[in-house]
Amino acid sequence: MKVSEIMTRDVCLAKPDEPIRRAAEMMEKMDVGSLPVTDGDRLVGIVTDRDIVVRGLAHGLDAESPVREVMTKDIKYCYEDDDVDDVARNMADLEVRRLPVVNRDKRLVGFVSLANFAHSNEQDASERLLKGVARPHDSMRH
């Protein structure tokens, strides 16, 4: 099965110049924890609720600061024609719960998340991914 068969196509986007307040409002409205950041039709970053707090508020930025100041620029992604087992393995290795999906021209076409795998018929891929992202981090241990 290909990623295109399980991914979410209707993705809410952030722009690098818009205020982090607007990104946070979109996350709240869509009930998501991250947004792809695009400049035109090119994926240039990802902004998460954690980015807004840790890179923004914790460093004294205000709600009107641009998304580009807090977004992650090192983007991990997968292709829409990648096999779901390979993507699940990669996501587990990266310990991420979601990835942007691009076409071969590297244009954003969707998002794939742990929830997409859980609702697919790909039981092995779903279990592999869940085990990978559910590992405790050293920073969480006391």
Give the pLDDT band (50/70/90) at residue 134.
low
When the pLDDT of each residue in the chain is averaged and rounded to a whole number, the result is 85
Residue 100 lies inside a defined structural domain of this protein: yes
Give mean pLDDT, residues 100-129: 77
Residue 59 lies inside a defined structural domain of this protein: yes
Give the pLDDT band (50/70/90) at residue 38.
very high
Residue 140 lies inside a defined structural domain of this protein: no
Residue 14 lies inside a defined structural domain of this protein: yes
Give mean pLDDT, residues 79-83: 95
Residue 99 lies inside a defined structural domain of this protein: yes
pTM above 0.75, yes or no: yes
Q: What are the tokens at 27?
A: 């996350």
The domain total for the chain is 1
Residue 106 lies inside a defined structural domain of this protein: yes
Using left for φ > 0, alpha for ψ between -120 and 50, and beta otherwise, residue 43 falls in beta
Q: How far is the C-alpha of 48 from the C-alpha of 69, rounded, in Å?
A: 12
Percentage of the chain exceeding pLDDT 90: 51
Nearest to 37 by CA among 78, 74, 9: 74
Residue 35 lies inside a defined structural domain of this protein: yes
Three-state DSSP string of 58-69: HHCCCCCCEHHH
Q: How far is the C-alpha of 52 from the C-alpha of 34, rounded, in Å?
A: 10
Flag whether pLDDT at 139 surpasses 50.
Answer: no
Q: How far is the C-alpha of 82 from the C-alpha of 79, rounded, in Å?
A: 5
Q: What are the tokens at 11?
A: 């993705």
Residue 142 lies inside a defined structural domain of this protein: no
Flag whether pLDDT at 142 surpasses 50.
Answer: no
* CATH code of residue 75: 3.10.580.10
CB 83 within 8 A of CB 2: yes
Q: Which domain range does residue 34 map to?
A: 3-135
